[in-house]
Structure 1
Amino acid sequence: MTSPAPDLATNLRVATLRLSRRLRRELVSSCTESQYAVLAALVHVGPLSPGELAERERVQAPSMTRTVAALEDVGLVARTKHPTDGRGVVVTITDAGREVVAETKRRRNAWLNQALAGLSEDERDTVARAAEILRRMTEG
């Protein structure tokens, strides 16, 4: 197997970082990107304990505790007693939190769709193939 050209990794890294940065600007609330990631996880997976959230987001438990507290303070999540562990809690997303996730996704997709509309059909096909390849690369 041959190695890719040295600039491929650099160019891909820079492009994905810039794309990520640009998409972050479409976040609709004053929450941080890491707080948004917690909200999105709760929408997609459902209620989780703070420990499960910390593991999922690959952060330390005290950091997740602060994140959850900040989200709770602004009404985007709620903590309830764990159904099977009387000492634990479960974090659930509120309707306001769901709205933040839905509107952020809508705005991010709108920006991407506008950017994609400026490409040729061949370029969009290339981006579609690249998206699938990138997904495979990041699943492992």
Structure 2
Amino acid sequence: MANDISPELVAQVRRGATRLARRLRAERPADGLSLNKLAVLSHLHRNGPSTPGEIAVAERQQPQSLTRVIADLEQAGLIIRERDERDRRQSVLSLSPDGLGALAVDASGRDRWLAQALRELNETERQVLRLAATLMEELSEL
């Protein structure tokens, strides 16, 4: 691999991220939001008001695949749709207070499990994970 990145490192990072993601999914509420709905709400929480096209690009999805998801979220009162002031043909979506609450409920079980798991580590290990989390966020944006 380029820049002498070992295949073992690549496999180890992939396995660790995959296993952690699987475990965190298992800690979600059984009646929770679909992963697509959660992705839209999370995007709006992280990035603020966005057009459906911006969300689709950021989430690496086709805009058509999010049409139903966005309609369901709007109907449930979890997002607010307004006309874009710059381009009246477009709509801008934003997170409603209920949407923020739904995100909090969805994250609470995962956060409880993760907080308990992190208590099993020493402070140095937690700091290493803080750095790794930052790097994984950066990697996810490439």
Q: TM-score range by the shorter chain?
A: 0.7 to 0.9
Farther off after superposition, 53-62 or 85-94: 85-94
The one-character-per-residue Cα deviations of 1:102-131 (angstroms, maximum 9, x if unpaired) are 333443332211101112444334434433
Tell me the distance in 1 between the aligned counterparts of 2:109 and 2:53: 30
* SS in structure 2 of the partner of residue 86 of structure 1: coil
Farther off after superposition, 45-54 or 26-35: 26-35
Pair 1:116-2:118 in alignment = yes
Answer whether contact 1:26 1:104 (CA < 8 A) is retained: no
Tell me the distance in 2 between the aligned counterparts of 1:79 and 1:130: 36
Count of residues in Structure 1 that have an aligned counterpart in Structure 2: 139
What letter is aligned with 1:19? L
Answer whether contact 1:24 1:33 (CA < 8 A) is retained: no
Pair 1:67-2:69 in alignment = yes
What's 1:107 paired with? Answer: 109
Farther off after superposition, 36-45 or 71-80: 71-80
What's 1:52 paired with? Answer: 54
Match of 2:32 among 25, 30, 33: 30
* SS in structure 2 of the partner of residue 92 of structure 1: strand
CA RMSD of aligned residues (A): 2.4
What's 1:131 paired with? Answer: 133
The one-character-per-residue Cα deviations of 1:26-57 (angstroms, maximum 9, x if unpaired) are 44563212211210111222221111111221
Unaligned runs of 5+ in 2: none
* SS in structure 2 of the partner of residue 91 of structure 1: strand
Structure 2-normalised TM-score?
A: 0.78
The one-character-per-residue Cα deviations of 1:52-101 (angstroms, maximum 9, x if unpaired) are 11122121111121221121232211222222322221212221111012
What letter is aligned with 1:107? G
Answer whether contact 1:76 1:93 (CA < 8 A) is retained: yes
State the percentage of identical aligned residues: 36
Answer whether contact 2:42 2:103 (CA < 8 A) is retained: yes
Farther off after superposition, 89-98 or 121-130: 121-130
Tell me the distance in 1 between the aligned counterparts of 2:89 and 2:122: 57
Unaligned runs of 5+ in 1: none
What's 2:19 paired with? Answer: 18
Structure 1-normalised TM-score?
A: 0.79
| 1:137 positional shift | 4.0
What letter is aligned with 1:118? E
